[in-house]
Structure 1
């Protein structure tokens, strides 16, 4: 479980590499642990504009975020042209794949406003893979923490504390209990993906570890690893 802000990519934050190092280091550590278990990844995230599956044979660019840094979803660099419209979660998944040494990542993006049951069912479906894969879950917490956003909401602290605790303990019920309306009000991009995670992880025992949970720039970022117990 990792966030997906563009600031993870050093080339995009040339003047703030040091300030963003802690969350970047945690994400890369999580990615390397996932790659050690499986070099074939399936990523789940939400995106407001594209709901569907992005195959591993594509590449994208962070040009829309200020730097034309190209990333690919497979270690062979992809076989087609660079897709300028690749969603941000897919771009970050491709960047992390390369940093962690994974072979490829296929990205499933879902509706950020989907119901709890819809998100859970997506996860259950993704869990029925015909071969073992590592699951990469991308999502940010609330963007309403005190910070550069300028729109703080005191409820953001409690919401992200609940997310932190759920990820730290692999509490699937707590993830499924995240309120859809409150998440929307607090601008939480990760709610749908975390509830898909709960569907994918059901029926198994997990050994969870929280690697990072802070809101350094007014946005909640959580990094965790769950390994089969």
Structure 2
């Protein structure tokens, strides 16, 4: 059973041996951490599960450290003495992983050899070590831990994973506390880690209100744009934590909130109570409705790309083109088909000019390639198809130009020298200047900025 749940910030300066004189500037957070740690310790857990955003984070899989004995220290923050060694609850971890697999949620268990072989971190990160410092101080020593890293899965998958943690604890009769490690906005001040953004304070205020009121539904409805603008790192940890509390009532308590260095630090605790309302089915139904609405509003190029990839993935067949899509046979152009899953790129393949007989064939070939042959990703599986969001870019003719003629929002760019050629589509997230656009295109082509190269630009009609 889940005995307690908590949100813990994780700046190493909260540890007195690291924070030094600066500890007085986060006195509210220190007091909040001590209150939270005492309440968690009083719930008498046998195992503490930490959900951290600073471990080995993957786009498509939850990960967890799997060695029997887990170690970590703050040497990356200038302190070589403040370390810890904890026993891993491998039985609970194995049960969680088996249940995740059965629910089609990928989970990777990393022992030290596997981690080092793949240049990953086999040690506890500060997202675990900071809250653990206060739990040890509260007397919680003879317990096992399970360190789990978040992933860039959908919020529904993360929430479902939280319910898997709960079910695994119940199946083993294990008393488990769960700590969602994460800071709030990193954009509260210009002198913070990132530039100031007004949505930073707005995000922190919304999260704080949701936690104070125990309003999980409102918390899950915080927009992706607001979360992104805020530059937060704790939201996904909290989604998993709330999933572990699904079906239980709880008493929320916000112990402290402050943001003295441009980063929001929020400490909160949640004491589980009697059986309550489950949100899982409601969230699943909402996802089904969103998918249905999205499919109803598709443009013809996007619907054709989706039909192609779905049929090819499931049956290795290319369907006949429907009558209402015959208009695609009347045009020839280069196209790019892009796939996204949970806001992350899942594949993108295209042609810079017409290669196949007509636009229908161009889209079909590139949709299959984007789903099966993008070297950056494994082939799309049938279980992913409902989560794929498609866009189709139809390219206009390229024309020679100079740097002064470029606009990264309006035009795509092609750079070339001899047989080396690099293309970048317009209006891409994170590409805001001509310099960035040309640099990326040159890098793709393997052309040095100092070389004499040709620049072309092109317009794109983007279908979503």
TM-score by length of structure 2 reads 0.45
Larger Rg: 2
Q: Which residue of 1 aligns with 2:427?
A: none
SS class of match (1:19): helix
Count of residues paired in the alignment: 222
1:29 aligns with 2:68: no
Alpha-carbon distance between aligned partners in 1 of 2:225 and 2:56, rounded to the nearest angstrom: 19
Out of 38, 43, 56, the residue aligned to residue 50 of structure 2 is 43
Q: Which residue of 1 aligns with 2:19?
A: 13
Alpha-carbon distance between aligned partners in 2 of 1:38 and 1:178, rounded to the nearest angstrom: 33
SS class of match (2:269): strand
Alpha-carbon distance between aligned partners in 1 of 2:23 and 2:162, rounded to the nearest angstrom: 34
Alpha-carbon distance between aligned partners in 2 of 1:192 and 1:30, rounded to the nearest angstrom: 20
Q: Which residue of 2 aligns with 1:77?
A: none
Out of 136, 142, 157, the residue aligned to residue 98 of structure 1 is 136
> Is there any run of 5+ residues in structure 2 with no aligned partner, and where?
1-6, 88-111, 113-120, 274-464
Change (3 A) 1:48 1:33: closer
1:53 aligns with 2:64: yes
Farther off after superposition, 139-148 or 152-161: 139-148
Alpha-carbon distance between aligned partners in 2 of 1:19 and 1:84, rounded to the nearest angstrom: 32
Deviations 1:100-144 (A, max 9, x none): 222332221112x33211211121111111212111111110100
Out of 86, 105, 110, the residue aligned to residue 150 of structure 2 is 110
Out of 111, 114, 126, the residue aligned to residue 88 of structure 1 is 126
The Cα of 1:177 is off from its aligned counterpart by 1.4
Alpha-carbon distance between aligned partners in 2 of 1:202 and 1:193, rounded to the nearest angstrom: 15
Farther off after superposition, 141-150 or 7-16: 141-150
| Greater RCO, 1 or 2 (C-alpha within 8 Å, sep 6+) | 1
Alpha-carbon distance between aligned partners in 1 of 2:11 and 2:223, rounded to the nearest angstrom: 22
The Cα of 1:12 is off from its aligned counterpart by 0.9
Q: Trace 1:139-218 onto structure 2 (pairs within 5 A).
A: 139-146=182-189, 148-149=191-192, 151-218=195-262
The Cα of 1:72 is off from its aligned counterpart by 2.8
The Cα of 1:58 is off from its aligned counterpart by 1.3
1:67 aligns with 2:73: no
Alpha-carbon distance between aligned partners in 2 of 1:73 and 1:110, rounded to the nearest angstrom: 20
Alpha-carbon distance between aligned partners in 1 of 2:20 and 2:201, rounded to the nearest angstrom: 29
Change (3 A) 1:173 1:87: same
Q: Contact 1:42 / 1:133 at 8 angstroms: preserved in 2? A: yes
SS class of match (2:187): coil
Alpha-carbon distance between aligned partners in 2 of 1:33 and 1:101, rounded to the nearest angstrom: 11
The Cα of 1:85 is off from its aligned counterpart by 4.1
TM-score by length of structure 1 reads 0.87
1:136 aligns with 2:149: no
> Is there any run of 5+ residues in structure 1 with no aligned partner, and where?
75-79
Alpha-carbon distance between aligned partners in 1 of 2:51 and 2:189, rounded to the nearest angstrom: 28
Change (3 A) 1:54 1:95: farther
Alpha-carbon distance between aligned partners in 2 of 1:173 and 1:12, rounded to the nearest angstrom: 37
Alpha-carbon distance between aligned partners in 2 of 1:20 and 1:133, rounded to the nearest angstrom: 29
